[in-house]
Structure 1
């Protein structure tokens, strides 16, 4: 393919969520004389122009992923490996260690993926953490919640996107919250599946920070202010990235994140850290061993000029990345959700609106959207806007998202014993 070696990418993700990353990675790979090989679970469509080879395989089966990756390694010299799909990060990180290329490291990838281990390591490092316990048993979980003190958050051990994460404000709400989290956790067939964590609720605004790690040295890139849906669930409905956010200069936050990354043993990569700003200071909720979801890296590029695709290329090829902002703007995203469970007929998004960067439907006709706890990620559309300041950006997001038109038929609740649903269009199914 090329004498300089290849970059192995595991899982492309959806076009509107990840193509902007792939475009930058492709450009840098070509400039460096590197080939690009993709392991993906679906027949290629939009991915074709970017990759020299696409291997079709069930990457959600760790044994299959490992076997296919080893086949690539047997005939090509792999000089870097990257993955940004949460369910695939653990096995991809283990493969990077096996191949001897830069990655999160075995300690780092397990520290990120296993939320219980995250709590253990951060607590041992002396970082501020809520009380927590892990058990699959409802009675033990109820006792743990009482010992921790209400309100508590109940969540799966290793899922992402706030799936199955529920707030229980008091004992009367706990059993239902635990049942939702346990049902969600059982969908995860990985080594950390079917386990539930109970932890104290860290009260305060929630933010996320995307950062780069090079040889263990952590550097924040950009910060997003998160907007969540109605309690008791924590579904993310929007984010705003301000290149001039004052929290970027907050020494306590920066120190907390650097210490947390060292405690988890993260070596090389991009991470997406979620933090609560409590009255007592920042509390790390979790650190994900990948770039942020929800188009946050795109918002970061629009607001700061920092290209996460280029940064990721640098760290996985063993080079120190440049994370210096070259732009000062504000960018935000707002997702459209139905007010009740429904089957979508059509979605129409605005096209020419002041400040609108991009907008797109996220589902096609016939898609069932269910709100928690019957379903998650019930998004029918998104809008991305840019402005010179945060208030203007938020106003444009509100006005533009109100222009989205959805034609849908209401449906009844799912059966009591039904597994929760996620729209197929949101699960890497571009085919």
Structure 2
């Protein structure tokens, strides 16, 4: 997703023609994430406001979208505040923007210290601590799974017996499915509980009593990216999770793909809108975009978790393709505390499918098909280079070797196009007889 000068110019012209105007002042961007997944957001945000990046390295691909940058440890809130105040001496800082899970808490502390719009520190803490999320939503009368927070295996076993198998074990403070697993019986609990305790995410704090044991919620899973402006929550993109062919990923909750349709009837479901709006009020979310995961259960919509930033896996990009609503513009408008443009101007379905190996392997090469707009294949990307190792969960997280991205007029047509494109991806790899962590220790 590298951006050249011509593409930047074309994007600017399109947005100017659509009435997108630049705002006065500077928005501080804490971290930028991976270019493949986040450049589209930065590119659009730069059309709306001057952006100043606070990140660990000097900008490379980010540079065309920035007014300036500061190198520092973005996970250190004190360093962030010092750097931001230095920027504020020469520029008017209007808000704080962050799309990275590991940095959302320092970004919230920065916004609070500068007294500017951005992620709410209270909301980020409420979202990060999944035990606190559960308690707040339960006390507000919103449906939640039976759950317990536990410190060791004995407590986990007792909680699982009380809840009843199958249960889900998950780290209390992580995201993106890290360490989350479905436990079907007492015989599986020891190993999966140990994996949940060992899971980590650099920069994300852990808890001493740090594992949740939860009732398994049956039913389809969706995610909703939305925005809060002046206390009002508006859902924008609803992604339906694709069921994958990679059965070897079970019992882990690795995501294999998503479909976003502008005409999805759930977007207008009054019950879902009410649950999401009340959830965001209870968690104290203000002036930001969020990514909420929801299960469609027999007892109604149940919020699984809320992330205090936009979704990953290019879901916001799919939403832009499907609806015409630009999440990069909406995010920076939230950070500026100005009314975002939320009117769709197209009605399509866009989808992405990720490909995982079936065993531990060393990649020799990955072959992907060429983009073919006539057939709805917008992009096919190799995510592994020759020599890369790809492990299976739980040794590694999101060990993908490629993805395909398609669009179509209907969800069924888009899903068929994704399947056809995925079938054309070729992985050449050598199996590894010893797991990566075992080889490192030998």
Work out whether the TM-score is over 0.5.
yes
Moved more, 236-245 or 70-79: 70-79
8 A Cα contact 2:288 2:331, kept in partner: yes
Deviation at 1:257, TM superposition (A): 0.5
TM-fit CA distance, 1:73: 3.7
Q: CA deviation at 1:318?
A: 0.8
Give the CA deviation at 1:91.
1.2
* Structure 2: 5+ residue stretches without partners: 1-21
* Residue deviations 1:219-247 (CA, integer Å, cap 9, x gap): 00010001255421100010000111111
1:236 corresponds to: 255
Unmatched 5+ stretches in structure 1:
30-34, 421-431
| Conserved? CA contact 2:367–2:382, under 8 Å | yes
Task: Tell me which residue corresponds to 1:428.
Answer: none
Instruction: Report the counterpart of residue 32 of structure 1 in structure 2.
Output: none
Q: Does 1:375 find its partner at 2:396?
A: yes
Q: How far is the alpha carbon of 1:57 from its aligned partner?
A: 2.2
- Structure 1 residues 8-19: aligned runs within 5 Å: 8-19=28-39
Cα drift, residue 146 of structure 1: 1.2
How does 1:309-320 map onto structure 2 within 5 Å?
309-320=328-339
1:182-201 to structure 2, matched below 5 A, reads 182-185=197-200, 190=205, 192=207, 195-201=210-216
Aligned-pair CA distance for 1:190 = 1.6
Cα distance in 1 for partners of 2:202, 2:102 equals 11
- Per the TM alignment, residue 77 of structure 1 is displaced from its structure 2 partner at its CA by 2.7
- The counterpart of 2:236, out of the listed 210, 216, 221, is 221
Alignment counterpart, residue 337 of structure 1, candidates 349, 356, 360: 356
2: distance between equivalents of 1:266 and 1:193? 26
1:22 aligns with 2:42: yes
TM-score (norm 1): 0.91
The 3 A distance-change label for structure 1 pair 50 and 192 is: farther
Does residue 121 of the first structure (1) align with residue 136 of the second (2)?
A: yes
> How far is the alpha carbon of 1:416 from its aligned partner?
7.3
- Alpha carbons of 1:182 and 1:221: their partners in 2 closer, same or farther (altered >3 Å)? same
In 2, the alpha carbon distance for the partners of 1:88 and 1:405 equals: 35
Matches of 2:193 and 2:354 in 1, distance apart?
Answer: 27
Mapping of residues 9-408 of structure 1, within 5 Å? 9-29=29-49, 35-185=50-200, 190=205, 192=207, 195-227=210-242, 230-353=249-372, 354-408=375-429
Q: Which residue of 1 aligns with 2:430?
A: 409
Q: In 2 relative to 1, CA 193–337 (structure 1 residues): closer, same or farther, beyond 3 Å? A: farther
Partners of 2:365 and 2:427 within 8 A in 1: yes
Shift of 1:326: 1.4
- SS of residue in 1 equivalent to 2:187: helix
Distance 2:265 2:25 in 1: 42
Question: Given that residues 174 and 201 in structure 2 are in contact (C-alpha distance below 8 angstroms), is that contact kept between their aligned partners in structure 1?
Answer: no
**What is the CA RMSD across the aligned residues, in angstroms?**
2.2
From 14, 19, 26, the counterpart of 1:6: 26
1:415 and 1:298 mapped to 2: Cα distance?
33
Deviation per CA, 1:30-77: give whole Å up to 9, x if none.
Answer: xxxxx3211122332211111121222232344544443344345433
Task: Report the number of matched residues.
Answer: 414
Q: CA deviation at 1:351?
A: 0.9
CA–CA distance in structure 2, aligned partners of residues 364 and 52 of structure 1: 33
Q: 1:389 to 1:228 in 2, by over 3 A?
A: closer
Q: Aligned partners of 2:84, 2:146: CA distance in 1, in Å?
A: 40
Instruction: Determine the C-alpha separation between the residues in 2 that align with 1:387 and 1:58.
Output: 42
Aligned residue for 2:242, secondary structure, equals strand
Q: Structure 1 pair 343/72, CA: closer, same or farther in 2 (3 Å)?
A: farther
Note if contact 1:209-1:223 (Cα within 8 Å) is conserved in structure 2. Answer: yes
Give the conservation status (yes or no) of the 8 Å contact 2:261–2:349.
yes
Query: 1:191: Cα distance to partner?
Result: 5.2
Superposition TM-score, scaled by structure 2 size: 0.89
Query: Contact conserved, 2:149 with 2:211, CA < 8 A, in 1?
Result: yes
CA distance in 1 between counterparts of 2:256 and 2:145 reads 25
